[in-house]
Structure 1
Amino acid sequence: MTEKRASLIRSSAVPALCLAAAIALPFVVPQYYVQFASKVLILGVLAMALNLVVGQGGLVSLCHAAFFGLAGYVLALMSPKYDPASLLLTLPAAVIAAGVVALIIGALALRTRGVYFIMVTLAFGEMLFYLFHDADFAGGSDGAFINAKPELVVAGVRLLDLDKPLVFYFVVLAVTVGAIALLTMLVRSPFGHALAAARDNERRARALGFPIFRIRLIAFTLSGALAGLAGYFAAIQFGFVAPQMLGWHQSAVALVMVLIGGLSTVSGPLIGALVLLGLEEVLKATFEQWKLIEGVIVIAIVLLLPNGVRQLWPMLAGERAPMRANKPASPAAAAPETGHA
């Protein structure tokens, strides 16, 4: 009992310390690092959204950048030319648009399996990329600028001004904490157990009555909406959107973050985003051929730490075994639903 209590204290202390450090960060570092931390949090949310499909659902998607960039374009198209847009109007619109597109793509792509699912999601992502690349209303290949960042104004009182880096950072931090809480709740719920059961043994889960298609479609849609949430704040930070935000390369970067951080935990991809972006910052300032060195380091991490960099903590803490991937979820852990996909 004492060992179990000590383990619970350790597992609660680390997130609390990380949150405290994140809150204190803007007051002890220059503004550049505050903006860098905001970028890490935004891309961390994108990676965590992707991990809901990849890690929990066992489905490798290469179109999540499409939802990420689409939300940014929604903000750009809804923003007045010179005045700030309303946060209360543009944020829900961007997230809903990303979720609806994810629902449509998922309804078609989830009828395939394995490499075919990967290729179908890649194809849909590229379709959206070229749609905005060739569309004059969205600025074409040059993209579109967001001249004034959204504001939260209630009864004529400005409550949030995202043009201020400190305010923007704390809003993004709150969004990240909310995303972690939501994903943790989903993963630990009967829905999350059913999703993992379908990942581990689809035939058995289907035989027990789980509506596999519906479960995966809900997960894919929620994942796309969260990716859109990240894309909305990325557009605010960068001040513009471009077709490259929707390209498969951005999806691949998010997938690398997931693999570096680890598939076994909700917040692992956030750590993966920190490691990858931090590595890029250090290598850019040190080496001319930094991309080559980054690739070698990423390959080494994936080979030596198959469960992600988070498994270093139990190893350094002297625990008996390194962190392992999620155990196969028992389909009986979630209440079976009647009906089939």
Structure 2
Amino acid sequence: MSTPQASSRTSLRTALAGLLITALAAVPVYAWFTQDVYALTLFGRILAFGLAALGLNLALGFGGMVSLGHAMYIGLGAYAVGILSSLGLHSGWLHMATAVLVTVVIAAPLGWVALRTQGIAFIMITLAFAQLFYYVFVSLKAFGGDDGISLQQLSDFDFLTGNKFAMYVSLLITVLLALWVLQHVVASRFGLVLRATKANDRRVQALGARSLPYRITAYVISAVLCALAGFFLANLTGFVSPAMMTWAVSGELIVMVLLGGMGSVFGPLVGAFALLLTEEGLKLLTERWPMILGPLIVLIVIYLKRGLWGLLEER
């Protein structure tokens, strides 16, 4: 039986989540009337990185898999758009299907190899593969190399062609669907076993459950969400670059998860919102904004161990 305090916290979290979603939904309306395309791009980046952070959180927050290579999947999703567009193939469904298929083909065996290790070995394997793909795309001079690719045409969905407003709305709907799916996945038997493997993998196996298939599945799902984030990011910015898949971007995703609340479904979206908006605000104030942002994030992670979203539960 829930206590009045627990019901109050749940109501507060629901209200704040609804407020954040409403604010994100109002962005294209504001941009339409003011013709402020920058706002659409900025909050589109927040949603895209929020989607990627939601994916990473399934592996990191619920499965305990510390990956420094998830930015690689953002890059794969973005390059599915960039490369196919440069070849004259503009179908949005083809771009999206290619991003998902390539990601699954790469993430499944990579996860199978990496998840047979633990701790620092897993981190280094994911980092090594991410750096490998980074240098592969840097060497592709036919597709921009280190300079990247400027899209001549966005993904063609007929009703979405060249329309960043519709693309933003589609991204918002995708994020909402991801939240709904992840909520049900975490609450399912699959989620229960996944969380148990994070707590003690050996005990899970001692009870007769094979943990590796659960962990690989979670890893692949998280990679696919990152690839979809890359697909939308390429269409919103109109640009694809190997810089999207560097280890630094993977580090930013981890910060978003920790900042928002690792192991909470909605927390990573809050973390992406807080980090990118704070970063943008500090850039307006000073050129030395990293010297302020870095210590600020460290203090938040140290003193708010459950993140900004977890703070509501503690209160």
* Structure 1 match to 2:29: 27
With 123-132 and 232-241 compared, the bigger mean Cα shift is at 232-241
Matched, 1:191 2:190: yes
Percent identical among aligned pairs is 36
TM-score normalised to structure 1 length? 0.85
Q: Which has the higher contact order (CA 8 A, sep 6+)?
A: 2
Uncovered stretches (5+) of structure 1, i.e. residues with no partner: 154-158, 315-320, 323-341
Check whether the contact 2:41–2:237 (CA below 8 A) recurs between aligned residues: no
Pairs aligned (count): 309
The one-character-per-residue Cα deviations of 1:284-334 (angstroms, maximum 9, x if unpaired) are: 1101211111101111111111110113334xxxxxx44xxxxxxxxxxxx
* Structure 1 match to 2:289: 290
Alignment of 1:59-74 (within 5 A): 59-74=65-80
* Structure 1 match to 2:43: 37
In structure 2, the CA distance between the partners of 1:11 and 1:280, relative to structure 1 (3 Å rule), is: closer
* Structure 1 match to 2:53: 47
- CA–CA distance in structure 2, aligned partners of residues 290 and 8 of structure 1: 35
- CA–CA distance in structure 2, aligned partners of residues 5 and 221 of structure 1: 35
- CA–CA distance in structure 1, aligned partners of residues 138 and 292 of structure 2: 31
The one-character-per-residue Cα deviations of 1:52-101 (angstroms, maximum 9, x if unpaired) are: 111000010011011110111111111156x6711121111112211221
Q: In structure 1, what residue type is equivalent to 2:296?
A: I
* Structure 1 match to 2:259: 260
Q: Note the C-alpha offset of 1:8.
A: 5.1
- CA–CA distance in structure 1, aligned partners of residues 184 and 234 of structure 2: 28
* Structure 2 match to 1:76: 82
Q: Note the C-alpha offset of 1:5.
A: 5.6
Q: Note the C-alpha offset of 1:12.
A: 3.7
Check whether the contact 2:9–2:312 (CA below 8 A) recurs between aligned residues: no
The one-character-per-residue Cα deviations of 1:181-225 (angstroms, maximum 9, x if unpaired) are: 111111111101100001101111001111111111111111111
- CA–CA distance in structure 1, aligned partners of residues 306 and 150 of structure 2: 39
* Structure 2 match to 1:98: 103
Matched, 1:130 2:173: no
* Two-structure CA RMSD over aligned residues (Å): 1.9
Matched, 1:86 2:88: no
| Bigger helix share | 2
Check whether the contact 1:71–1:231 (CA below 8 A) recurs between aligned residues: yes
Partner secondary structure for residue 160 of structure 1: coil
Q: In structure 1, what residue type is equivalent to 2:41?
A: Q
Q: In structure 2, what residue type is equivalent to 1:67?
A: Y
In structure 2, the CA distance between the partners of 1:307 and 1:20, relative to structure 1 (3 Å rule), is: same
Matched, 1:251 2:261: no
- CA–CA distance in structure 2, aligned partners of residues 300 and 148 of structure 1: 43
